Chain A
Amino acid sequence: MSDIPNGGRRQAVPRQTVESPKQVTLQFLDDTWERLLNSLERLEQVSEGYRNLTATRLDQHPDRDRITESELDVRWEVHLQIKSLERIVKPVIEDAQWMIDDFLRWFGGRARRPLAVTDEYAVPVLHCIMDHPYELPDLDEVVPTETDILDAAEALGRGLHESDKIEERFLADSRLEATRHLHTRARSRSSGLVRLSELNRMLAVHLAYVIDHPQPAKEEPR
Chain B
Amino acid sequence: MSQYDTQVPEAEWFSLVMRCPACLSEQKEPGPAAQWFHASDDGFVQVGSSAQYRCTSCRCVEHVKSWRYACEAHQTDFRPTSSAHLANALSTAGQITSVAGRQWMQRFLENLGEW
Contacts and interface: CB of A to CB of B under 8 A. Distances in A.
A14 B105 contact: no
Given A28-B88, A73-B99, A154-B19, 4 more contacts: A8-B38, A10-B78, A86-B87, A158-B25
B35 interface: yes
B72 A159 contact: no
A6 B49 contact: no
Contacts, number: 256
Interface of A: 1, 4-18, 20, 24-25, 28-29, 31-32, 35-36, 38-39, 58-62, 69-70, 72-73, 76-77, 79-81, 83-88, 90-91, 141-146, 148-167
Interface residues of B, number: 69
Interface in B47-106: 47, 49, 53, 55, 62, 64-72, 76-106
A7 B41 CA distance: 10
B86 A87 contact: yes
Interface of B: 1, 14, 16-22, 24-26, 33-40, 42, 45, 47, 49, 53, 55, 62, 64-72, 76-106, 108-109
Contacts of B89: 156, 159-160, 162-163
Given A150-B17, A165-B25, A83 B109 contact: yes
Closest 8 CB pairs of A and B: A157-B21, A152-B101, A159-B89, A11-B66, A144-B100, A87-B87, A8-B36, A161-B25
